[in-house]
A and B are shown apart, each in its own frame.
Chain A
Amino acid sequence: MITLVCPHCGPRDATEFAYIGERTARPDPNDTTPQEWRGYLYLRSNPAGWADELWLHRAGCGRYLAVRRHRTTGAVDEVRDVGAGGEP
């Protein structure tokens, strides 16, 4: 079971959170090719190691959090606030 230390609520069971996705920079829609936009929509790095993720503390403070998590061992080495909107 994964435990995340929420900067607002303290250590909580991961079932309180929703995994949103990998943290990727959203390209400027006014200045991007369809190819780049589809890459943003669909391509993921999907490492079998450390990954930068976005989580939502759904059943807690309701904040978006940047989480660095190891996708084989489940270890978490960073949980921090990313501010409103959840942009990286």
Chain B
Amino acid sequence: MRSRRSRSSPPRYSGFGLIRRGLTGTSWPPAWRRYEPRRRYDVVVIGGGVHGLATAYYLAAQHGLTNVAVLERGYLGGGASGRNTAIIRSNYLTPEGVRFYDRSVRLYESLAAELNFNAMFSQRGHLTLAHSDSALRIMRWRAEVNRLQGVDSSVIGRAEIASLVPSLDVTDHPRFPILGGLWHPPGGIIRHDAVVWGYARAADALGVHLHQDTEVVGIDVSGGRVRGVRTNRGQIAAPAVVTCTAGWASTVCDLAGIELPITTFPLQAAVTEPVRPFLDTVVVSGTLHVYVSQSDRGELVFGAAVDPVPSYSTRGSLEFTENVAAHVLELMPALAQVRILRQWAGLCDMTPDFSPIIGPTPVEGFYVDVGWGTYGFKAGPVAGEAMAALVATGKTPELIEPFDLARFTDGRLVGERGAAAVGH
């Protein structure tokens, strides 16, 4: 669909514009433009998901670097950014993690206004259920760590859970009765495609080039420095290259000769047919490996843990559907007649400590923003902001210092598993 498009940047969205276009029947111009790749950019970002687009946007918006290209092999938001369950939260376990994701929640709160794009962030609260004494103990620990970092989290009992989510079975009958929960009011869900499109549109308006259908097939490194990338649309020189490629991170880094401690696992999700609104929090159960939220369209969105076997396949499996249905019904027996409409998988780049790898690499000018595992979407804005600052200034922001690649050789792991095992 290569069409002739205006070279001027897209108009700002407004209520007035909506009425005017509705009355006059004028069509909306494309939200971002198409270009032939330049031979040289100041920064090349590999990966057109939320991380890549946020990096490009903040490079332009906060650092004035506009000679920037985002290279996406498929279409914008077609990878993990469009395949997650759109949950946002900051109730992590390690102080490093909590600080980091709290900044991301704050950026998400002001995102729609900043990008002039309705991202529909719904801070409806995030409830993680405890079905065992040990889970409750970790929750108390998490709540304390959260509160010390200024993040709203508390452990609540059965009665309060029953009033927050009346559809939950809080009796003693289930195999794993609900004992308590971690209640995190700032958490919620967001329209994930809109986040991607909002960043893309805003970056485009600032002059960033977004190249879809553009696959990186080689990365040129000489003298320990990155020189550029080779793509299916020709060679592009760049003194700085950032990779934000989620599940494909290690195959892309292989091109630059960088080995990563990453294994790729699919994470499956599913949605049901739309039903009337009845669930206005995000409900998570680590023991049952499931999380449930209701979208603004009424669909119930289900997610689970990553598949037990590494793979690059994004197909769903019957095994997943059976398990997720069984687990949801244990929590909410009233859903027995609701039908699942569709399922899919996204690729997660899992690291040994469940924390990301973000920062410089042994190849000068080549930066990684990878290893997000099951919570990359939550971190998109803050990772983009931090990465833009790193690329533009050469100094690693304090917020991402703990997450550098060197921690695996220096033995400084950031163990986030306690908050990551299905605590999405």
A residues whose Cβ falls under 8 Å from a Cβ of B: 1-2, 14-15, 18-19, 22, 34-35, 38-39, 41-48, 51, 71-74
Taking the closest CB of chain B, its distance from the CB of A15, in whole angstroms, is 7
Known pairs A73-B313, A74-B313; A43 contacts B259 (CB<8 A)? yes
Nearest B residue to A51 via CB reads: B310
Q: Which of B251, B260, B311 has the most CB atoms of chain A within a 10 A radius of its CB?
A: B311
A1 with B319: CB separation less than 8 A: yes
Q: What 5 A-B pairs have minimum CB-CB distances, sorted nearest first?
A: A42-B261, A46-B250, A72-B312, A19-B309, A48-B312
CB contacts under 8 Å to A, within B322-362, are: 352
Tell me if B293 counts as interface (CB < 8 A to partner A): no
> Are B309 and A42 neighbours in the complex by a CB distance under 8 Å?
no
B278 to chain A, nearest CB (A): 33
Report chain A residues within 8 Å CB of B310: 19, 46, 51, 71
In the bound complex, what is the Cα–Cα distance between A1 and B352 (angstroms)?
Answer: 26
B411 at the interface (CB under 8 A from A): yes
Q: How many residues of B contact A (CB 8 A)?
A: 22
Q: How many A-B residue pairs have CB under 8 A?
A: 53
Cβ contact within 8 Å between A72 and B311? yes
Does B19 count as interface, using CB distance less than 8 angstroms? Answer: no
Q: Is the CB of A44 within 8 A of B262?
A: yes
Is B318 part of the contact surface with A, judged by Cβ < 8 Å?
Answer: yes
The reply to whether A47 and B251 contact each other, CB–CB distance below 8 Å, is: yes
- Beyond the given A34-B409, A41-B352, A48-B312, could you list 6 further A-B residue pairs with CB under 8 A, ordered by the A residue number? A1-B317, A43-B260, A46-B310, A71-B264, A72-B312, A72-B313
Give the residue among B262, B309, B317, B352 with the most A Cβ atoms within 10 A.
B309
Assess A19 versus B308: contact at CB under 8 Å? Given A1-B317, A43-B260. yes
Q: List 27 contacting pairs A-B, 8 Å CB cutoff, sorted by A.
A: A1-B318, A1-B319, A15-B319, A22-B263, A35-B409, A38-B408, A38-B409, A38-B411, A42-B261, A42-B352, A43-B259, A43-B261, A44-B263, A45-B250, A46-B251, A46-B260, A46-B263, A48-B251, A48-B264, A48-B312, A71-B264, A71-B310, A71-B311, A71-B312, A71-B313, A72-B311, A74-B313
